[in-house]
């Protein structure tokens, strides 16, 4: 007996779709990834190409993907009935989403861990608040002059020299400690011990580390026990257990499809903004915050000549808006046919920009405080990597009243934002595969979801070793790289050139009641593909290897990174060759007879006269 095909799901209401898009795009990538890319590329220098890339690449592609998925009610693989030769583009999207979900869930796991440990201290503090713990070094500082509080000036000065006397540079600078202390120079009333310490630490290049940085590096990661890729070290039991729990929660939320995940986003997509505003206000009241804000808002114009800055900006646009991953095709495919996806694209993209700017003020105000505390410049205060969010945010939270409560709320926010993104990534993977085998997989959705989540957990285990942050950095460095740019370019070529911009505009008119304005068309046809092509070529000529902090990755690890880049691109080309051989050049590039709106009521008029070709599916 034939197995009945289970019908494709749909959103319960418009709010579920919009909040899912917001949760997917205004996500952990905005709170976690945007700040460290902005930090790595000179603060305000990064903002200029970032917003330009939003206008000429991000927004046009966002609208295109929403319109394409909604028009056909198909996922990222089967939507390419529009031109079967480009089916590999959809497979590449699903492949990229599957790889991203593996490492991205490790970041979610760290947020979960910080959430759990927020209340472990019995004294009402957070565990990363103070130095003097077993994992701390002698360089740890929570204030710039921690030993001088509550002393008169003479005792401050003597304590100061005792603290610094073991530095050879101070020896040379000051000579004998007792002679210096008794000298007229030190006794001058207008010269304070704080001024002396500031001069000594700068002249001798004495730097400190913050308590939050050492908690992240030496306790959570235990990175000092690993020698990089050559020796990742053993597994961290606490991180492994948290990773398993995150995948278990994803399974519970996804086992019934969008009917369950669509309800979760009512909270997870709105709660983050409240916490970000509170942290921003607190950050702007910390001493030294103006240093960070100045770094964030003052562009270094010559750095705009660095193509790496533009490449990172494009990468973050793809990451923050989630274009090129196939998730937008998946989410919009559950929409009603007449939904105004143009308005949705403008709304979500605007909120993503607001979220990024808000995050920037929050992070850089705290970085300014950390620079003030550790006697460093803002650009050198922490490692420029994925761990930035797990150093700066905790530092600011530790200064809040009731810090354990705010720590829990903040990391719960990060966790919920990460789960939003994971829902969309996993739905992209599972929906794409289920659309290929609907008769079997839609009947066994729970088992299929469990299998995907278990596989994701197993593949993520190398990233919870003591040196696992290097593997996570490698994946983050290369997943949102040339492959996304090339896949997006292939998508544009398919829709604009092969299918035709005129027909696509008419399809959109069928849905929203009017044709796209010239802004969309000019970008789709000219500016967006030219920008993508320019970024691919120039970025390749100025390629720089991946690194984490001061550690440069070995060549064989770089080889793994390039495999991550090449795999989706190779899939796109191989599938295209196979489809041309199987169907012939003409049929491979023409729409199939089943292309179009899924609902028969919408399959009327001009469209079917224009593209009704012999069935070659």
Is residue 315 in a domain? Answer: yes
| Least confident residue range of 37-46, 167-176, 514-523 | 167-176
347 with 425, same domain?
A: yes
Does residue 42 sit in the same domain as residue 152? no
| Interval 568-581: pLDDT, tens | 999 999 999 999 99
Dihedrals phi, psi of 552, to nearest 5 degrees: -90, 130
Query: Mean of the pLDDT values across residues 283-309?
Result: 83
pLDDT score at 206: 59
> Is residue 177 very low, low, confident or very high in pLDDT (cuts 50, 70, 90)?
very low
- The CATH number of whichever domain residue 41 belongs to comes to 1.20.1740.10
Is the same domain home to 254 and 315?
Answer: yes
3 is a domain residue = no
DSSP 8-state symbol, 29: I
| Arithmetic mean of pLDDT over the chain | 79
pLDDT-derived band at 385 (thresholds 50, 70, 90) equals low
Residue 136 phi/psi, 5-degree rounding, is: -80, 155
Largest Cα–Cα separation, the chain: 102
Higher pLDDT, 13 or 509: 509
Which pLDDT score, from 0 to 100, does residue 363 have? 80
Task: Assess if residue 213 is contained within a domain.
Answer: no
Q: How confident is the model at residue 442 (pLDDT cuts 50, 70, 90)?
A: low
Please tell me the distance from the alpha carbon of residue 615 to that of residue 592, in angstroms, as a whole number: 6
What pLDDT was estimated at residue 501?
92
Residue 570 belongs to some domain of the structure: yes
Which pTM was predicted? 0.79
Query: For residue 543, what pLDDT is reported?
Result: 76
Given 207, 230, 251, the domain boundary residue is: 207
Same structural domain, 455 and 518: yes
91 and 180 both lie in a single domain: no
**What pLDDT does 112 receive?**
92
Q: Which of these, 42, 101, 211, lies nearest to 472 by C-alpha position?
A: 101
CA–CA separation, 589 and 187 (whole Å): 86
* Structural domain of 163: 145-207
Q: Is there a single domain that holds both residue 97 and residue 193?
A: no
Per-residue pLDDT averaged across 434-455, rounded?
79
Q: Find the distance separating the first CA and the last CA of the chain, reported in whole Å.
A: 24
139, burial (CB in 10 Å: exposed 0-12, middle 13-18, buried 19+): middle
Same domain, 389 and 531: yes
Number of structural domains in the chain: 2
Query: Which pLDDT does position 611 carry in this prediction?
Result: 43
CB 254 within 8 A of CB 368: no
Statement to judge: residues 117 and 190 lie in one domain? no
Tens digit of each residue's pLDDT (9 = 90 or more) over 544-592: 788 887 788 899 999 999 999 899 999 999 999 999 999 998 899 999 8
| CA-wise closest residue to 66 among 480, 520, 441 | 520
- Assess whether 493 and 538 both reside in one domain: yes
269, pLDDT greater than 90: no
Choose the weakest-confidence range: 202-206, 302-306, 353-357, 510-514: 202-206
Residues 174 and 261 in one domain: no
pLDDT tens track for 30-55: 777 777 778 778 778 888 899 999 99
Clarify whether residues 498 and 394 are in a common domain. Answer: yes
Least confident range of 87-96, 150-159, 298-307: 150-159
Q: Calculate mean pLDDT across residues 465-492.
A: 87
């Amino acid at each position: 007996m034939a197995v009945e095909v289970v019908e494709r799901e749909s959103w319960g209401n418009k709010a579920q779709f919009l909040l899912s898009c917001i949760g997917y795009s205004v996500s952990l990538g905005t709170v976690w990834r945007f700040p460290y890319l902005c930090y790595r590329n000179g603060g305000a220098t990064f903002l200029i190409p970032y917003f330009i890339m939003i206008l000429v690449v991000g927004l046009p592609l966002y609208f295109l993907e929403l319109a394409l998925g909604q028009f056909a009610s198909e996922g990222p693989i089967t939507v390419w009935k529009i031109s079967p030769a480009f089916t590999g583009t959809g497979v590449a999207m699903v492949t990229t989403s599957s790889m991203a979900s593996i490492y991205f869930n490790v970041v979610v796991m760290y947020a979960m861990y910080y959430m759990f440990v927020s209340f472990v201290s019995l004294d009402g503090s957070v565990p990363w608040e103070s130095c003097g713990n077993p994992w701390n070094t002698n360089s740890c500082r929570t204030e710039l002059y921690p030993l001088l509080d509550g002393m008169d000036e003479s005792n401050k000065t003597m304590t100061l020299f005792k603290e610094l006397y073991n530095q050879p540079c101070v020896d040379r600078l000051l000579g004998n400690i007792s002679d210096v202390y008794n000298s007229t120079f030190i006794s001058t009333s207008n010269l304070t011990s704080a001024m002396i310490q500031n001069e000594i630490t700068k002249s001798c290049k004495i730097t400190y580390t913050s308590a939050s940085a050492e908690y992240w590096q030496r306790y959570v990661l235990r990175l000092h026990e690993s020698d990089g890729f050559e020796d990742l070290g053993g597994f961290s039991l606490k991180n492994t257990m948290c990773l398993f729990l995150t995948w278990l929660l994803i399974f519970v939320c996804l086992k019934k499809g969008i009917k369950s995940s669509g309800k979760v986003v009512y909270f997870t997509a709105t709660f983050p903004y409240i916490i970000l505003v509170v942290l921003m206000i607190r950050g702007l009241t910390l001493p030294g915050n103006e240093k960070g804000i100045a770094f964030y808002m003052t562009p270094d114009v010559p750095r705009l000549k660095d193509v790496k800055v533009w490449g990172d900006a494009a990468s973050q646009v793809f990451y923050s808006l989630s274009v090129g991953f196939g998730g937008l095709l998946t989410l919009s495919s559950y929409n009603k046919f007449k939904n105004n996806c143009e308005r949705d694209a403008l709304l979500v993209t605007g909120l993503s920009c607001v979220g990024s700017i808000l995050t920037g003020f929050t992070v850089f105000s705290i970085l300014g405080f950390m620079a003030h505390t550790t006697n460093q410049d803002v650009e050198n205060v922490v490692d420029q990597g994925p761990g930035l969010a797990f150093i700066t945010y905790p530092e600011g939270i530790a200064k809040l009243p009731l810090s354990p409560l705010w720590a829990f709320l903040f990391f719960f926010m990060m966790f919920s934002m990460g789960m939003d993104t994971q829902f969309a990534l996993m739905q992209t993977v599972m929906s794409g595969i289920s659309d290929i085998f609907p008769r079997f997989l839609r009947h066994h959705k729970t088992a299929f979801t469990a299998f995907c989540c278990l596989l994701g957990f197993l593949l993520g285990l190398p990233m919870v070793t003591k040196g696992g942050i290097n593997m996570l950095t490698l994946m983050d460095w290369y997943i949102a790289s040339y492959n996304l740019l090339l896949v997006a370019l292939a998508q544009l070529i398919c829709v604009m050139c092969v299918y035709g911009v005129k027909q696509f505009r008419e399809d959109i008119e069928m849905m929203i009641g009017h044709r796209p304005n010239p802004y969309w068309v000019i970008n789709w046809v000219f500016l967006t593909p030219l920008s993508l092509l320019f970024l691919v070529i120039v970025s390749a000529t100025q390629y720089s290897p991946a690194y984490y902090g001061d550690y440069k990755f070995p060549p064989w690890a770089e080889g793994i990174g390039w495999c991550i880049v090449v795999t989706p691109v190779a899939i796109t080309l191989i599938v295209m060759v196979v489809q041309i051989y199987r169907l012939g050049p003409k049929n491979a590039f023409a729409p199939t007879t089943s292309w179009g709106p899924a609902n028969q009521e919408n399959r009327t008029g001009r469209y079917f006269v224009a593209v009704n070709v012999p069935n070659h599916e």
